[in-house]
Amino acid sequence: MTPYRELSREQLQAMKAELEKQFEEVKAKGLNLDMSRGKPSKEQLNLAMGMMEELKSTDKLKCEAGIDCRNYGLLEGIPEARRLLGEMTEVVPEHIIIFGNSSLSVMFDTVSRSMTHGVCGSTPWCKLDKVKFLCPVPGYDRHFRITEYFGIEMINVPMTPAGPDMDIVEELVSKDPAIKGIWCVPKYSNPQGITYSAETVKRFARLKPAAEDFRIYWDNAYCIHHLYEDHQDILLEILEECEKAGNPDMVYKFISTSKVSFPGSGIAAVAASPKNLAEIKKHMAVQTIGHDKINQLRHVRFFGGIVGMHKHMKKHAELLRPKFEAVENTLEREISGAEIGTWTKPKGGYFISFDSMDGCAKAIVAKAAEAGVKMTEAGATYPYGIDPHDSNIRIAPSFPTLDELQLATEIFVLSVKLVSIDKLLEEK
Amino acid sequence: MTPYRELSREQLQAMKAELEKQFEEVKAKGLNLDMSRGKPSKEQLNLAMGMMEELKSTDKLKCEAGIDCRNYGLLEGIPEARRLLGEMTEVVPEHIIIFGNSSLSVMFDTVSRSMTHGVCGSTPWCKLDKVKFLCPVPGYDRHFRITEYFGIEMINVPMTPAGPDMDIVEELVSKDPAIKGIWCVPKYSNPQGITYSAETVKRFARLKPAAEDFRIYWDNAYCIHHLYEDHQDILLEILEECEKAGNPDMVYKFISTSKVSFPGSGIAAVAASPKNLAEIKKHMAVQTIGHDKINQLRHVRFFGGIVGMHKHMKKHAELLRPKFEAVENTLEREISGAEIGTWTKPKGGYFISFDSMDGCAKAIVAKAAEAGVKMTEAGATYPYGIDPHDSNIRIAPSFPTLDELQLATEIFVLSVKLVSIDKLLEEK
């Protein structure tokens, strides 16, 4: 395919006319599709319906600690859930605490606690003039909204194919004591699907932060969410790396089963050093009498153990893989060589990240919406919703049916082409 | 019975010798019973087992809003859960938001949010030199722990049989702008089982706080938790009273199904004015993607509606009533007239409040523990764990079997008598 940039004004205008006709045709199909979030499909949700069949007998409701899961008690979660989610994120049960249904709210609470009570004895952040977080970009909008809500200044750090640019991270973290944290999705990152390299993880573990209360917010949301059995990314276990590097307390690991069992009805967890866990427990002991242990037990009974959970994730992969490939194939066929966009080909997670020509992302998302395809708002993958290049768009292929997704991708591609041509015509 | 105080030194010593013998006998029975918290019994938990049978079919998982409860969405809770919990606390669905499994954590979050973000635009409390809360005493220890954790100064307000002493509340609230809240359990209060009178509720609604961000924390934990069908306390609905009095935003109402379905696996809610709810939602939208809607739907399907829920509560009452009466009868038989203690006879809720002679509560609780009965720590019903009279003890009759409870009450009564005699001997 000839790069669009090399086409003449007349060629572009002829193309535009043809594409506009096509766009009106797909628009007429009246699609109304919300692709804005990484939501599992109905078929994926059905995979875990067996969970509803668990726990019917009153004599099977005690956990391994001998406590009736229907009653108060066990602040840290039931032992078998700590083992299962520990295995999910490669730590021993003693290093993990089970929470409620949302890892996002655990991250929120962690920032909130640092604001009001500091971190392991440090000055509460609300007493400081300035608190800053590093934000690898593009990244997860919900992370950025938490730090924005608390008035924390966010600093963009560019992503590379091996993770955040560690030269920049090391430089900033070692020099500025106002930098208290960094948001990371280290495996199959949101939105690019990048997994941090072993070298990146080791460099994280060896950071020498100027702030004693600096913490890495390691949101391992997609730790077992592979798309391929034979091509999986591998992520070094950071708690161990931090310990080896003499920084045992520098990281909080967050996980959940939101995209394993049911979004909003899964279980979340934090893995951390004994010192950090002790502080978290002190806070929890005031905040709640305990989380939903029935749901913890339901998860353990349904999956049986980590082997069962991995088998379950293969069923998710079988449903997700064709969708990712459909989007990638259409992009390849329709755009490759046109030099109007690049995209990632992740081996896991929930997103494909698309980068348009500079200054086109907002217009593309608006154009697709015209034909009934709601995508994640352009800019959302950057702090404050500001993408300095206006180029990044997050594609979430999981929720639609394959047919809907094919049509949505067509609409997306037409939108990319039309907006890009307009941009090129402006420049000519 | 002759008041112990009127007995001679010799009579008391003779009694003591006899009681010590009895104490050794019951101690030898090797009871090991935790009565420290208001935990439902196994039989109560069994009442809700039908809940585990709900939601098995994939075609019954949409809520009234047409959304699949297994997926993300509906931050405020599903419409039918808002209706059910709204009816539980006598407000329309539009005035209530459904949360996770714990109303305590909603109260914690409410204080935490006020610390970091203020209340409807007021200065964040963390920026103020001093923040104070009024604490009707005796009260709920977990409330006091929240305010203590955030460094909020707590001021005791005595309870009367009609609720907190409103003369004091009005005086303090109207004069001191540092007073930002008051903890209330308005119905079948913890630990006394007192229900605030209509006059008390109206006086609350008519408060003229010096602080614009003053809020009443109305923890209606026991709103439908009656012990008797024919003798129920009635509580005025405070949101409406506040509105009538021109103070629509002055109250947050908290409820949960912890002692209706399963403690730790129920659903919690906040009812408040539109202005307060809007602020809560702004916070929630950052904190979480949503709460557990499957559990919301499970509750609605199991109870059917408020009528079903009231029927369910009658079954709880049938299990709880004999336990309350067993404790009350033993106290009546063994202590009445001895003037070594008084106790409440609640018509609902989870606790009986016992007041010993001054300076005896800690020793009584320690004595009972010697014979294997763990009660709520003496002092726990007061801020900072300091009961100025060292006299209040919370009795939680729900969890033990009736047999265990009989024995535990015997042990308790023996402990009261022995400690009281020691105290009187000291004084003679």
Report pLDDT for A34. Answer: 86
* Distance (Å) from the alpha carbon of A117 to chain B's nearest alpha carbon: 8
- In angstroms, rounded to a whole number, what is the distance separating the alpha carbons of residues A80 and A306? 11
Of A71, A105, A265, the CB nearest to B287: A105
The residues, ordered by sequence, that sit 6+ positions from B315 with a Cβ below 8 Å of its Cβ are B47
Q: Any bridge partners for residue A163, and if so which?
A: A160
Interface of B with A in 79-138 (CB under 8 A): 100-102, 104-105, 108-109, 112, 115-116, 124, 126-127
Answer whether B91's CB lies under 8 Å from B271's CB.
Answer: yes
Q: Which amino acid is at B376?
A: T
Substitution target from B36, B63, B292, B299 for chain A, most A beta carbons within 10 A: B292
Whether B70 contacts chain A with CB within 8 A: yes
Instruction: With residue A180 as reference, give the H or E element that holds it.
Output: strand A179-184
Of B71, B105, B142, the CB nearest to A40: B71
Across residues A17-22, what is the average pLDDT?
97
pLDDT in tens, A350-396: 999 999 999 999 999 999 999 999 999 999 999 999 999 999 999 99
Across residues B164-178, what is the average pLDDT?
98
Residues of chain B found within 8 Å of residue A45, distances taken between Cβ atoms: 68, 70-71
**How many of the other CB atoms lie within 10 Å of CB of A92?**
12
Whether A293 contacts chain B with CB within 8 A: yes
Sign of CA dihedral B236, B239, B245, B249: positive
Whether A72 contacts chain B with CB within 8 A: yes
* Distance (Å) from the alpha carbon of A291 to chain B's nearest alpha carbon: 6
Report pLDDT for A58. Answer: 80
Interface of B with A in 225-264 (CB under 8 A): 262-264
Across residues B368-392, what is the average pLDDT?
97
pLDDT in tens, A296-351: 999 999 999 999 999 999 999 999 999 999 999 999 999 999 999 999 999 999 99
Instruction: Give the mean pLDDT of chain A.
Output: 96
Predicted confidence (pLDDT) at residue A259 exceeds the cutoff of 90: yes
Enter the DSSP assignment of B77: -
Instruction: Sheet with B96-98: list strands edge to edge.
Output: B96-98, B268-271, B251-256, B215-219, B179-184, B132-137, B153-160, B163-164
In a 13 Å sphere around the CA of B248, the CA atoms on its Cβ side amount to: 8
pLDDT in tens, A66-77: 999 999 999 999
The residues, ordered by sequence, that sit 6+ positions from A297 with a Cβ below 8 Å of its Cβ are A54, A55, A61, A63, A69, A78, A80, A81
The residues, ordered by sequence, that sit 6+ positions from A213 with a Cβ below 8 Å of its Cβ are A114, A118, A119, A120, A122, A123, A180
Whether B43 contacts chain A with CB within 8 A: no
Using DSSP's 3-state secondary structure scheme, residue A183 falls into strand
Across residues B9-18, what is the average pLDDT?
97
- In angstroms, rounded to a whole number, what is the distance separating the alpha carbons of residues A188 and A348? 5
Q: Find, among A55, A104, A57, the residue nearest to B100 by Cα.
A: A104
Annotate A393-414 with three-state secondary structure: EEECCCCCCHHHHHHHHHHHHH
Residues of chain A found within 8 Å of residue B109, distances taken between Cβ atoms: 287
- In angstroms, rounded to a whole number, what is the distance separating the alpha carbons of residues B91 and B102? 20
Sign of CA dihedral B74, B75, B81, B87: negative
Predicted confidence (pLDDT) at residue B34 exceeds the cutoff of 90: no
Substitution target from B41, B152, B279, B287 for chain A, most A beta carbons within 10 A: B287
Report pLDDT for A111. Answer: 98
Substitution target from B72, B152, B399 for chain A, most A beta carbons within 10 A: B72
Is the Cβ pair B292, A291 closer than 8 Å? no
Residues of chain A found within 8 Å of residue B264, distances taken between Cβ atoms: 70-73, 289-294
Whether B291 contacts chain A with CB within 8 A: yes
Whether B288 contacts chain A with CB within 8 A: yes
- Using pLDDT thresholds of 50, 70 and 90, give the confidence band for residue B218: very high
Instruction: With residue A342 as reference, give the H or E element that holds it.
Output: strand A341-343
- In angstroms, rounded to a whole number, what is the distance separating the alpha carbons of residues B113 and B10? 60
Report pLDDT for B423. Answer: 97
Is the Cβ pair A264, B105 closer than 8 Å? no
Report pLDDT for A249. Answer: 98
Q: Find, among B291, B197, B58, B146, the residue nearest to A48 by Cα.
A: B58
Q: Find, among A67, A268, A295, A101, the residue nearest to B261 by Cα.
A: A295
- Using pLDDT thresholds of 50, 70 and 90, give the confidence band for residue B92: very high
Q: What are phi and psi of B403, to 5 degrees?
A: -65, -50
- In angstroms, rounded to a whole number, what is the distance separating the alpha carbons of residues B126 and B346? 39
Instruction: Compute the CA torsion angle B80, B83, B86, B87 (nearest 10 deg).
Output: -120
**How many of the other CB atoms lie within 10 Å of CB of A304?**
12
Instruction: Sheet with A163-164: list strands edge to edge.
Output: A96-98, A268-271, A251-256, A215-219, A179-184, A132-137, A153-160, A163-164
CA-to-CA separations, B270 to B226, B278, B290, in angstroms, rounded: 21, 12, 15
- Using pLDDT thresholds of 50, 70 and 90, give the confidence band for residue B212: very high
Across residues A10-23, what is the average pLDDT?
97
Residues of chain B found within 8 Å of residue A124, distances taken between Cβ atoms: 126
The residues, ordered by sequence, that sit 6+ positions from A388 with a Cβ below 8 Å of its Cβ are A156, A382
Residues of chain B found within 8 Å of residue A115, distances taken between Cβ atoms: 115-116, 126
Is the Cβ pair B71, A127 closer than 8 Å? no
Answer whether A304's CB lies under 8 Å from A84's CB.
Answer: no
- For B136-174, the DSSP string reads EES--HHHHHHHHHTT-EEEEEEEETTEE-HHHHHHHHH
Annotate A100-125 with three-state secondary structure: CCCHHHHHHHHHHHHHHHCCCCCCCH
Q: Which amino acid is at A242?
A: C
Nearest 5°: CA angle at A44, between A40 and A47?
145
The residues, ordered by sequence, that sit 6+ positions from B282 with a Cβ below 8 Å of its Cβ are none
**Which position has the token pair 């090391």?**
A170
**How many of the other CB atoms lie within 10 Å of CB of B388?**
11
- In angstroms, rounded to a whole number, what is the distance separating the alpha carbons of residues B167 and B158? 10
Predicted confidence (pLDDT) at residue B319 exceeds the cutoff of 90: yes
- Using pLDDT thresholds of 50, 70 and 90, give the confidence band for residue A1: confident
Report pLDDT for A55. Answer: 87
Answer whether B155's CB lies under 8 Å from B136's CB.
Answer: no
CA-to-CA separations, A253 to A85, A94, A199, A350, in angstroms, rounded: 11, 14, 18, 19
